[in-house]
Each structure stands twice: as C-alpha cells, then as structure tokens.
Amino acid sequence: MGALFVHQASGFLPDEDQGVLYGQIVLPAGATQERALKVIEQVEHHFLVDEKDNVATMFGVAGFSFGGSGQNAGLTFVRLKPWSERPHPDQRAQAVVARAMKSFSQIRDAMVFAFAPAGGD
C-alpha cells in the first residue's frame, strides 16, 4: 500500500518557484503593434523598476502570444533573481505575480496576465 504513495502527482503539490515568470498581453482586435509595444513598456517598467529587488531581466515580444499571433498580442519573459537574493515570502514568484496582476489591472489599453510556469516533474 505504501508503494502507491511513493510517487505523488505534481498537481497536488504547491506551486514551485522556478525563478521564471511569463506575461501574456492581449489588445483589442485591430490594435496596432505600436500600441502593443507601449503596453510592453508598461509591463517592463513594472518588472524592472517596481520589482527591481526581485527581477533580474525581462524580455518582451510583440506580435504573438500563447493565444496566437497578430499585432495586437505580446509576450514577456521574466527571469527572477536567484533564491538567495529573494529570501522572504513576499519575494517568491507567486507574490511577484500577485503584485504584477494588481498593477496590470490598471492598464486600460490591454489585458495583461502574469503567471509562473506550473511546477512538476
């Protein structure tokens, strides 16, 4: 019986801080790539200025997202600083995501979602 519990599905485990975050940006249909780039700049400001103690780098791309391609879409890739530089609970990936989502809810030109990749094996 105990052998059944040796390998537990990762879906039952808490989110793992892998030191990486993603962002998906969706503007209204027909929005220009210029508008998408302006939203990416707002996202960049949040991560590189407001979260400078937690974020090492951010890279943004306009023109495609996890939902498809188009000039009204964008993606961001965020690398967090090493865990040794983020020792407090409010510096973990999920806390950074929560603050980002709060900040991004103020962006009126687009829907912006921040998320950490799912943990697991």
Q: How many CB atoms lie within 10 A of CB 69?
A: 9
pTM for the full model? 0.83
How does pLDDT run along the chain (121 residues), one tens digit per residue? 444 444 444 454 456 899 999 999 999 999 999 999 999 999 999 999 999 999 999 999 999 888 888 999 999 999 999 999 999 999 999 999 999 999 999 999 999 999 999 865 4
Full residue range of the structural domain in which residue 64 is found: 17-115
Asked if the structure places residue 1 within a domain, the reply is no
Asked if the structure places residue 85 within a domain, the reply is yes
Asked if the structure places residue 100 within a domain, the reply is yes
| CATH classification of the domain holding 85 | 3.30.70.1430
Asked if the structure places residue 4 within a domain, the reply is no
Domain count for the chain, please give it.
1
3-state secondary structure labels for all residues of 49-117: HHCCCCEEEEEEEEEEECCEEEEEEEEEEEEECCHHHCCCHHHCHHHHHHHHHHHHCCCCCCEEEEECC
